[in-house]
Structure formats: C-alpha cells, structure tokens
Amino acid sequence: MSMKSKIKKPELVVNSAAAEYYKKNGTKFVKEGEQKIGYRYDQITCREFSLPGSEEVKSNNVTLSQPSAEVLTLLKKGDEWYMVLGKQARSPYLVDVNGKIYFRTFIEQAAGLLEKGQDFLDAAIAETRQELGAKLVYLGELIVPRLFRHVSYTDEVSKLYLAVTEWLGDQDLDPEENINVDVIPLDKAKEEFDAYLEGDKDSFFDFDIPDVTMLSMTVFFRKLENGKIDLNHLTGNLL
C-alpha cells in the first residue's frame, strides 16, 4: 500500500452539521471531540452524545480515510490459472501489551489508498504492480457498487476489481512494506477456501484472510461457478 502522498480531505464541521442532525433525531449533542490529523487517516475521538430520553452520555470515534482500491489477481500460464495473493504482517498486531506479543500475518489481495491525482482504476493498476509485481492484461469490476468499510467507524469507500496477469516481475514496495507473493493453483485455492468457509479448516493455507479479501474471493468463486465469470472469455476489460 503506497503512502507517498495524502489527499487533503474536507474540513469536518461538527458543531453545526452534527449538532443539527442530532437535534432532528432527538439525540443530545454534548461534546465535539478532538480532531487529529494523521498521515493516512484523520481521527475524531471522544465525540459525546446522549440518546433520546436518556441522560447517559455515550461517545464514539470516527476515522476519516482516503478511498481505496482492492484487486483480486489471477495469473494465467498457458491453460493453467493461479491466484496471486500477498502475505504480510499487519501493524495492529505487531505490538507488545504487558509483555505479550501480538503478531499476525494475513494472506490478502493487493490493495491501497488512492493517492493524489488517482482514481480507483489508477490505484488498482498501481497497487497490483507495486505489491505483486504484476503487469495486467485484464482488469474488470468484481463488484459494481462501491464498498463502504466499517460504517460505524470510518468513511472509507473501496472499489473491488478482478485482474489477470501473465507475468510477475519485481515488486516496488514502500520501505515499511514487506509482502511475500504467493502463487496458488486456482483449483487448490478454491478447495482450501471452501474448507475455510465451511469451518473444516481454521485458516487458509495456515494464514488468516482479511474481510475484504474474503468477500472478493467469495464473490469471485460464486460468479465463476454460475457462469457470470468465464476465464476464457473475459469481458469488460477496463485497461
């Protein structure tokens, strides 16, 4: 996920917009909260309010994020098909809490936030090249609607794509990134994923899968089975 630039997001006006919304819905606005400007995300913490008919004060946090693109990538070698995923440790788990180390590596599709001047399509192409070293020959929408991420906590919106490459080269990772590319025969990936979804296995080739990658794989295999995706006659190439 490249983080070389940041899109300037609109300033959040809480006192007028949020307070007016709360008033219309009978919710009492108590405290605006604190806005923290980050490199990738902006956070609003400890916004306080009380629900209609109650004086109990509740609070919530909101994360403002750039939009992102997620790309499930396939590799075609002759008549053989493979799924290309990346294994990487995720930072929320790389912590020491009271002497206990939290560390977890996920296996997932290429993904990244939109950088300045990019649209979803640009980001999808860039992230597959940077994270997987893939030069794409096909890119299509896996799910047409936009995906709204963790709606209670963030405003991040994603687009999900299906990509095909016939060649994998060198990655172009940021200094803090470490992604190991895994190339899995498509039939083996489906067999393992089905067992994972059914609960017959508690991991996918010994790794956990993030929720959006799981959604992409579920939709892909469903569309493959019902003929909505024909790997021999892919339509809707956006390249």
Higher-confidence residue: 136 or 102? 136
What is the C-alpha separation between 81 and 75, in angstroms, rounded? Answer: 6
For residue 151, the model assigns a pLDDT of: 84
Question: Which pTM was predicted?
Answer: 0.82
- Residue 135's SS3 state is strand
For residue 64, the model assigns a pLDDT of: 81
Q: Which tens digit of pLDDT belongs to each residue from 28-69? A: 777 777 777 776 677 777 778 888 888 888 887 778 888 999
Q: How sure is the predictor about 7, in pLDDT bands with cuts at 50, 70 and 90?
A: very low
Least confident segment among 50-54, 158-162, 177-181, 231-235: 50-54
- Domains of the chain (ranges plus CATH)? 14-65 (no CATH), 68-225 (3.90.79.10)
For residue 16, the model assigns a pLDDT of: 60
For residue 75, the model assigns a pLDDT of: 98
**Contact yes or no for 53/78 (Cβ under 8 A):** no
At which residue do the structure tokens 């709204």 appear?
148
What is the C-alpha separation between 40 and 106, in angstroms, rounded? Answer: 21
Q: Per-residue pLDDT averaged across 93-119, rounded?
A: 83
For residue 95, the model assigns a pLDDT of: 67
Residue 4 has pLDDT above 80, yes or no: no
What is the C-alpha separation between 239 and 128, in angstroms, rounded? Answer: 13
Q: Which tens digit of pLDDT belongs to each residue from 71-97? A: 999 999 999 999 999 999 876 656 677
What is the C-alpha separation between 84 and 229, in angstroms, rounded? Answer: 17
Secondary structure E strands in the chain = 28-31, 34-37, 41-50, 58-65, 68-77, 80-89, 95-97, 100-102, 105-108, 110-113, 134-148, 157-168, 180-185
What is the C-alpha separation between 199 and 209, in angstroms, rounded? Answer: 14
Higher-confidence residue: 72 or 117? 72
Least confident segment among 113-122, 159-168, 227-236: 113-122
From 138, 178, 142, 148, select the one nearest 161 (Cα to Cα).
Answer: 142
